Amino acid sequence: MTDLPPDSVPKGVAAIEAALRTMPLTPGVYRMLDAHGDALYVGKARALRKRVTSYTQLARLPERLRRMVAETVTMEIVTTHTEAEALLLEANLIKRLKPRFNIVLRDDKSYPWLVLTEDHPYPQIAKHRGARTRKGSYFGPFASAWAVNQTVTAMQRVFLLRSCADTVFASRTRPCLLFQIRRCSAPCVGRISVPDYAALVEQAKAFLSGKGASVQQALATEMEQAAEALAFEQAAAVRDRIRALTHVQGTDVINTATLADADVIAAWQIAGQTCVQVFFFRGGRNNGTRAFFPTNTRNEEVAEVLGAFLVQFYDDKPPPPLILLNHELPEQALIAEALSIKANAFGAGKKVEIAVPQRGEKHAIVAHAELNAREAMERKLAESAGQAKLLEGVATLFDLPAPPGRIEIYDNSHIMGAAAYGVMVVAGPEGFTKSAYRKFSIRGPITPGDDFAMMREVLERRFGRALREEGGGPGSPSWPELVLIDGGAGQLSAVRQVLDDLGVTDVKLVAIAKGPDRAAGREWFHREGAAPIQLPPRDPVLFYLQRLRDEAHRFAITTHRAGRAKALVTSELDEIVGIGPGRKRALLNHFGSARGVKQAGLVDLEAAPGISREIARRVYAHFHPGAR
């Protein structure tokens, strides 16, 4: 860290004292802001004035907080009714603003859920992400898509529920492969009645709600009744379902029947870094596990990190009624109260209990989660050490004064100039920084296929914007030490010209050109003021640079495909006045495609669900302008 200007700390204290003059003694949240208006720190307090006053007593503050005070220019506060509400607001602001002096959970992922739909005579079981706009029963969350997919497969084996979309269901004329392998009861072709299928759905809901024992008993009774009635084929089918259910309910230390709805959360800290491991248990089943690595934890105790993690983690998801931890929290009762408020906001309506078990099976589960956290932390440290060696090799290869803290890799993708996109991928000491990736939709006008012009536009937009924004230029954390581009000497020269025009001269440029026959391992590296070089085929630095190039290529291809798919979805239906997203969806679901709508007759359009006679005539007239 650079030394602080000698007069900066008194200025920061003066800014805080000025804010204290009108600060109330009520609960609330305060924000320390820097000269650019960015949040340096977000905190909560039971009494705002009393808490903020402590920041003016510099002798009692650690170096990290003295630095924060030095950078503070102004403050903002929001009052709340209770300290628990302040805690929830603090967590929400930290996740959204990501202040530099707060412990921050970087978790932008939406967790998948399992849904049993309720808007169809034969409900579908499926994976779900995002807003719960469709009517149905939702179960989760799950730690990953893999975990929910495994559960869907198990539910199909036990309860024979359909997983196909409604459009596929409506178009079936014979059972699909899932019926043949006994994972579906084929309601699409009438192999099961609505009441019998509804009974399967109720059994599935009971199982997912933690009533697996009663479901198994009901199946055993059904099997015995079928055997007594000499319906041996039916009895064998129920027997297979019981076996599948027994397999699903198998228990061990990470899949225990003693936990109904709970999260097991354990933290492990070493070398100034912290890993938090989360096990999700719902309905007595283990819904998977996930490791998190909060930032800005170097000077914090593990219990402080765990407390900050807990409130931020449940900011956008309902907490379960029981949370098991491996450390007592400094404000455990307050956090439990805040999470209970959050649970009520999600409609759970249950008080949240936070516990640190000391013995028994729950303690064994927490200990297992702690072991997973420690192993994940050790793997990350090992990867970081290897990453540091690779960056040292890159610095040596390209004559950089120090290992680069930020590498930017650029690529573009298009089909003869159509759906043209440029992308920026970012890597550094922690690996790929996906939150810093950027997509650039090429605006043009550009001659189709002119890769030089596309790259010029991308770099002008990226570096031009950084130079225009105060604090975004050279020396900032978002400024690269090394820029890699996919291409040869021509691309290198073109990019250098663009950066020279912008006045950017402190960034090292390297172009990676594919070798003979485009063979991996024979790439040429073009540098400014030096002859191009090749690296030995087994050089680790070569593999690292290839991985950077390939990640940029992957991101460019997926961005281009997504853009092209979006353009395809934007069909002629969008040009018809009165056809919004709802009516467009109804038409596409009914006719299968925009072409199907175009070929439909007026009578067929009028018969489509949700389409009035006036709208049908308008759609028909659009595609048949000469018709009357």
| CATH code at position 592 | 1.10.150.20
Whether the per-residue pLDDT at 43 is higher than 90: the answer is yes
**SS3 of residue 142 by DSSP:** coil
129 and 59 fall within a common domain: no
Q: The dihedral of CA 153, 155, 161, 164: what is its sign? A: negative
Query: What is residue 418's predicted lDDT score, i.e. its pLDDT?
Result: 66
Q: Which residue has the higher pLDDT, 273 or 252?
A: 273
Query: What is residue 52's predicted lDDT score, i.e. its pLDDT?
Result: 93
Residue 353 lies in a domain: yes
Average pLDDT over residues 27-51: 92
Lowest-confidence segment of 195-199, 230-234, 268-272, 485-489 by average pLDDT = 230-234
Query: What is residue 514's predicted lDDT score, i.e. its pLDDT?
Result: 79
Whether the per-residue pLDDT at 489 is higher than 60: the answer is yes
Query: Please, which pLDDT band fits residue 44 given cuts at 50, 70 and 90?
Result: very high
Query: Please, which pLDDT band fits residue 473 given cuts at 50, 70 and 90?
Result: low
**SS3 of residue 317 by DSSP:** coil
How far is residue 163 from each of residues 117, 242, 244, 277, measured CA to CA in Å? 10, 20, 18, 31
Task: Give yes or no for a contact between 100 and 291, defined as CB atoms under 8 angstroms apart.
Answer: no
47 and 126 fall within a common domain: no
Residue 247 lies in a domain: no
**Residue 26 one-letter amino acid:** T
Query: What is residue 383's predicted lDDT score, i.e. its pLDDT?
Result: 77
Query: Where in the sequence is the domain holding 594, given as residue range(s)?
Result: 572-623
Whether the per-residue pLDDT at 453 is higher than 90: the answer is no
Question: Which tokens is 152 given?
Answer: 């869907």
487 and 503 fall within a common domain: yes
203 and 280 fall within a common domain: no
Query: What is residue 106's predicted lDDT score, i.e. its pLDDT?
Result: 74
Question: Which tokens is 137 given?
Answer: 């029963």
Instruction: Answer yes or no: pTM beyond 0.85.
Output: no
pLDDT in tens, 201-239: 988 888 887 776 677 777 777 788 777 777 777 777 777
Looking at 566, 595, 611, the residue that finishes a domain is 566
Query: What is residue 329's predicted lDDT score, i.e. its pLDDT?
Result: 92
Helices within 326-359 (DSSP H only): 332-345
Helix 332-345 vs helix 83-97: crossing angle, to nearest 10 = 80
List Cβ neighbours of 207 (8 Å cut-off, separation of 6 or more).
Answer: 155, 158, 159, 215, 245, 283
Average pLDDT over residues 281-290: 82
Query: What is residue 337's predicted lDDT score, i.e. its pLDDT?
Result: 92
Query: Please, which pLDDT band fits residue 1 given cuts at 50, 70 and 90?
Result: very low
Alpha-carbon distance of 592 to 105, in angstroms, equals 43
Maximum average pLDDT range among 175-179, 453-457, 464-468, 607-611? 175-179
Residue 270 lies in a domain: yes
Looking at 566, 586, 606, the residue that finishes a domain is 566
Whether the per-residue pLDDT at 443 is higher than 80: the answer is no
Question: Which tokens is 578 given?
Answer: 């009165």
Alpha-carbon distance of 234 to 356, in angstroms, equals 48
For 401-452, give the secondary structure using H, E and C: CCCCCCEEEEEEEEECCEEEEEEEEEEECCEECHHHCEEEECCCCCCCCCHH
Residue 628 lies in a domain: no
Helix 540-569 vs helix 360-397: crossing angle, to nearest 10 = 110
158 and 89 fall within a common domain: no
529 and 414 fall within a common domain: yes
Q: What is the CATH number of the domain that holds 327?
A: 3.30.420.10
Alpha-carbon distance of 310 to 325, in angstroms, equals 10
Mean pLDDT, the chain, integer: 83
Q: The dihedral of CA 96, 101, 102, 104: what is its sign? A: positive
**Residue indicated by tokens 């503070």:** 72
Task: Give yes or no for a contact between 518 and 549, defined as CB atoms under 8 angstroms apart.
Answer: no
Query: What is residue 570's predicted lDDT score, i.e. its pLDDT?
Result: 53
601 and 540 fall within a common domain: no
Residue 319 lies in a domain: yes
545 and 453 fall within a common domain: yes
pLDDT in tens, 154-202: 788 888 899 888 888 888 888 888 988 888 999 999 889 999 899 889 8
92 and 176 fall within a common domain: no
- Which phi and psi angles does 286 have, rounded to 5°? -85, 115
Alpha-carbon distance of 522 to 390, in angstroms, equals 19
The candidate with the shortest Cα–Cα distance to 70, out of 78, 61, 81, is 61
Maximum average pLDDT range among 417-421, 476-480, 542-546? 542-546
Query: Please, which pLDDT band fits residue 8 given cuts at 50, 70 and 90?
Result: low
Query: Please, which pLDDT band fits residue 63 given cuts at 50, 70 and 90?
Result: confident
Alpha-carbon distance of 203 to 283, in angstroms, equals 13
Query: Please, which pLDDT band fits residue 538 given cuts at 50, 70 and 90?
Result: confident
> Which DSSP letter does residue 331 get?
T
Task: Give yes or no for a contact between 75 and 33, defined as CB atoms under 8 angstroms apart.
Answer: yes
Whether the per-residue pLDDT at 79 is higher than 70: the answer is yes
Alpha-carbon distance of 555 to 451, in angstroms, equals 17
140 and 120 fall within a common domain: yes
Query: Please, which pLDDT band fits residue 247 given cuts at 50, 70 and 90?
Result: low
Question: Which tokens is 522 given?
Answer: 């024979």
What's the structural domain count of the chain?
5
Query: What is residue 251's predicted lDDT score, i.e. its pLDDT?
Result: 42
Residue 314 lies in a domain: yes
Q: Which residue has the higher pLDDT, 366 or 380?
A: 366
Q: What is the CATH number of the domain that holds 539?
A: 3.30.420.340
Query: Please, which pLDDT band fits residue 278 given cuts at 50, 70 and 90?
Result: very high
| Residue 467: Cβ within 10 Å count | 15
Q: What is the CATH number of the domain that holds 71?
A: 3.40.1440.10
Q: Which residue has the higher pLDDT, 242 or 618?
A: 618
Residue 595 lies in a domain: yes
75 and 44 fall within a common domain: yes
Looking at 548, 566, 584, the residue that finishes a domain is 566
Residue 497 lies in a domain: yes
Task: Give yes or no for a contact between 30 and 43, defined as CB atoms under 8 angstroms apart.
Answer: yes
**SS3 of residue 278 by DSSP:** strand
Q: What is the largest CA-CA distance in the chain?
A: 93
614 and 537 fall within a common domain: no
**SS3 of residue 45 by DSSP:** strand
Alpha-carbon distance of 266 to 371, in angstroms, equals 9
Chain centroid to CA 354: 26
| Cis, bond preceding 330 (omega within 30 deg of 0) | no
**SS3 of residue 541 by DSSP:** helix
Chain centroid to CA 46: 33
- 398 burial type by CB count under 10 A (0-12 exposed, 13-18 middle, 19+ buried): buried
Whether the per-residue pLDDT at 260 is higher than 50: the answer is yes
Helices within 503-574 (DSSP H only): 540-569
* Complete DSSP assignment for 10-24: HHHHHHHHHHHTT--
The candidate with the shortest Cα–Cα distance to 394, out of 463, 459, 483, is 483
